[in-house]
């Protein structure tokens, strides 16, 4: 079959230029000297992998090549041709937008191919029910997200990019899916003979789910895809008879990476995972995952490898790239041919009412180029944003700000407890519970509220973080942190690392150790509010630093106000946290020039987990108010010592930007 037979003579030149077409099952091995751009430029005539194989009455996947060629530039034309009973090669042009979301029914023997730059389907998707022999190539499907429905739980939110039910021989290649309402591709109900190759899946909660059946039928090949800034289903492979997953790049994933479920058989090889929690999960006892030759960079959690699964070479020949080359290959080659250049926009707006650039914070963060070097500001209009937000380490120099200046007007909220059970085993842990994770240096957050709304009264006590910072040079200005136990964690990238956070004019509330961690944090002009737990004797602890012994600066509370409605004398200033009995910890905190309410205990500092409070580096200076006790349990700095414990000393060579 010739290239011009598949695409048409003129159109083939427009779309693929001079790129070389190669046989469906004979991809050449890329040499070490080959450039990523040339290696990625192998736009095939026919699919490789399972979509190329005979089965269910077809010799392979050819789409609409047997039919005529048509062009569409409107939604009505696209719907009409997609539903036509005849084979068709359908060329999409320009931007096609649905006013109200529509999932376009597709009949068998169709090819959908984008022509030129900027081809996209907006606020719509495709539905394949009991059909076969369909190809999607070279365009973007985007923006069916319902603002505020980050979890995708609304009954009207089945807004997939592509939905396949009991369909076979489908090839999805060089496509881009972003910001969909539900999954980007949902592969369901015994769909079979599938290949997903060189696609981009981005800025969404759910990426790609496979299954919805008790049978183990689906055979699919998943290679050279770029999955970035997503949370779950990256992929979730349920009851696949054979899922061959190779040379994919998973970057900045919030919850879990590749997962096998029930009786899934998965071969996972030559993939690259970076900043992924639980990168490889075999969820169920019958799941088999072969985990080989993968690279794990800045990941944590499970990397399961269990069972023999299957041998892909028993089905087809293939040649995989070295995992170390995958990020360069995939980022340069995945997605539509005329993909958009990285965004140069420096001012981004998020709104729930459709007036912003994006409807979710995480999508806005995803629009910022990796390795960003210029200041970018994300302004958030008033509303309640229920989502877990990660400011990824590879996106520095970002400001997240509420639009009105009143932090009560913009609320970012989620309710995950650290002791909450993951559905695939284990618990989320402290880092996994945070509503806001700040992983990027030079981040500023201002004029908004972040809360962990976990209900302790109903569900029992647990760590439940509102905010976790890991990076250096992070600013919070006029920001509210709401939680109970462990509201704010000042973390670092490792035990030997340091990270500085400056909190100016913030309001932070909690009850147990609600300012804690091994990072360096300066609370300047803040209101620190201890919640009343209803006890007559113990209503909690404010700080629990775990500062490394080589770091002279842990927590500084200065020019601040400590408040509470709790009974007088029932709240401790803090206690020393020796995380995992770390012998190199030497917890450090200074509270100075602040007003301390009557809730502060006369014995200001408490012991913790067998460690005396005297093992910490705790001190006070020049405090006022009824809780500013002067006794042996409140060690005081001398004026000479106090000059070494100022915010300038804690922050060192970093001077936070004016206005913070």
Active site residues: 486, 513
CA–CA separation, 477 and 502 (whole Å):
8
Q: Which helix (H) or strand (E) holds 204?
A: strand 200-211
Tell me how far apart the alpha carbons of residues 531 and 516 are, in angstroms, rounded to a whole number.
16
**Tokens coding 614:** 């005297």
Residue with tokens 């190329």, as numbered in its chain:
52
Which residues have CB under 8 Å from 170's CB, separation 6+? 51, 61, 128, 132, 133, 134, 135, 136, 164, 191, 193, 194, 195
Buried b (16+ CB within 10 A) or exposed e, 429-462: bbbbbbbbbbbbbbbbbbbbbbbbbbebeeeeeb
Place of tokens 């520095």: 396
Beta strand 595-596 with 436-438 is unpaired
Cα 616 from Cα 312, distance rounded (Å): 57
Are residues 471 and 440 in contact, defined by beta-carbon separation less than 8 angstroms? yes
359: which residues sit within 8 A by CB, 6+ positions away? 145, 146, 147, 148, 179, 350, 351, 352
User: DSSP per residue over 377-432, as a string?
Assistant: EEEE-SEEEES-EEE-TTS-SEEEEESSS-GGGEEEEE---TTPBPTTSSB-HHHH
Which DSSP string corresponds to 434-481? Answer: -SEEE-SSS-EEES-EEEE---HHHH---B--SEEE-SSSEEEES-EE
Tell which residue, 208, 273, 199, has the closest CA to residue 240. 208
Q: How far apart are CA 473 and CA 557, in angstroms?
A: 17
Per-position DSSP letters for 273-307, written without gaps between them: EEEEBS-EEE-STT-EEEEES-EEES-BS-B--BS
β-partners of residue 200 are: 176, 226
**Residue 51, SS3?**
helix
Beta bridge partners of 171: 135, 195
């Amino acid at each position: 079959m010739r290239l011009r037979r598949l695409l048409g003579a003129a159109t083939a030149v427009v779309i693929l230029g001079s790129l070389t077409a190669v046989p469906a099952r004979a991809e050449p091995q890329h040499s070490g000297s080959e450039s990523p751009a040339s290696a990625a430029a192998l736009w095939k005539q026919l699919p490789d992998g399972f979509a190329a194989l005979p089965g269910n009455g077809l010799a392979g996947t050819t789409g609409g090549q047997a039919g005529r060629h048509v062009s569409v530039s409107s939604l009505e034309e696209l719907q009409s041709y997609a539903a036509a009973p005849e084979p068709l090669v359908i060329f999409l042009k320009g931007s096609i937008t649905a006013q109200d979301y529509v999932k376009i029914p597709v009949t068998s023997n169709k090819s959908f191919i984008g022509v030129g730059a900027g081809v996209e389907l907006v606020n719509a998707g495709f539905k394949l029910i009991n059909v076969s022999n369909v190809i999607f190539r070279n365009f973007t499907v985007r923006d069916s997200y319902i603002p505020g429905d980050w979890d995708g739980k609304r009954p009207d939110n089945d807004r997939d990019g592509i939905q396949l039910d009991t369909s076979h021989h489908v090839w999805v290649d060089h496509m881009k899916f972003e910001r969909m309402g539900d999954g980007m591709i949902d592969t369901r109900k015994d769909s079979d003979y599938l290949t997903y190759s060189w696609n981009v899946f981005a800025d969404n909660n759910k990426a790609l789910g496979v299954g919805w059946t008790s049978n183990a039928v689906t055979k699919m090949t998943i290679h050279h895809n770029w999955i970035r800034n997503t949370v779950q289903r990256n992929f979730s492979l349920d009851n696949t008879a054979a899922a061959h997953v190779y040379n994919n790049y998973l970057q900045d994933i919030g919850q879990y990476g590749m997962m096998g479920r029930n009786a899934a058989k998965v071969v996972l090889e030559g993939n690259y995972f970076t900043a992924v929690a639980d990168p490889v999960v075999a969820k169920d006892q019958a799941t088999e995952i072969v985990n080989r030759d993968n690279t794990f960079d800045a990941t944590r959690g499970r990397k399961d490898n269990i069972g023999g699964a299957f041998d892909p070479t028993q089905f087809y020949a293939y040649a995989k790239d070295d995992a170390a080359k995958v990020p360069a290959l995939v980022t340069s080659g995945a997605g539509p041919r005329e993909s958009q250049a990285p965004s140069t926009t420096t001012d981004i707006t998020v709104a729930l009412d459709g007036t912003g650039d994006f409807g979710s914070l995480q999508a806005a963060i995803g629009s910022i180029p990796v390795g960003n070097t210029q200041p970018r500001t994300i302004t958030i209009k008033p509303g309640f944003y229920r989502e877990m937000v990660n400011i990824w380490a590879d996106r520095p120099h970002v400001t997240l700000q509420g639009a009105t200046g009143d932090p009560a007007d913009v609320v970012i909220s989620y309710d995950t407890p650290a002791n909450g059970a993951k559905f695939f085993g284990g618990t989320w842990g402290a880092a996994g519970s945070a509503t806001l994770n700040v992983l990027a240096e030079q981040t500023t957050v201002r004029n908004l509220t972040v809360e962990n709304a976990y209900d302790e009264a109903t569900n029992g006590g647990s760590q439940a973080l509102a905010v976790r910072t890991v990076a250096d040079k992070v600013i919070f200005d006029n920001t509210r942190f709401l939680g109970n136990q462990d509201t704010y964690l000042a973390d670092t990238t490792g035990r030997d690392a340091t990270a500085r956070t400056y909190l100016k004019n913030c309001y932070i509330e909690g009850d147990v150790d609600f300012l804690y961690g091994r990072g360096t944090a300066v609370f300047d002009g803040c209101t620190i509010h201890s919640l009343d737990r209803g006890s007559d004797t113990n209503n909690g602890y404010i700080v629990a630093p775990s500062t490394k012994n080589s770091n002279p600066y842990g927590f500084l509370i200065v020019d601040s106000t400590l408040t509470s409605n709790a009974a007088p004398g029932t709240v401790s200033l803090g206690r020393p946290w020796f995380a995992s009995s770390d012998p190199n910890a030497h917890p450090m905190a200074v509270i100075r020039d602040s007003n301390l309410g009557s809730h502060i205990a006369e014995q200001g500092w408490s012991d913790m987990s067998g460690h005396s409070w005297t093992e910490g580096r705790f001190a006070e200076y020049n405090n006022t108010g009824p809780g500013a006790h002067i006794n042996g349990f409140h060690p005081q700095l001398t004026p000479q010592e106090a000059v070494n414990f100022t915010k300038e000393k804690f922050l060192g060579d970093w001077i936070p930007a004016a206005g913070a």
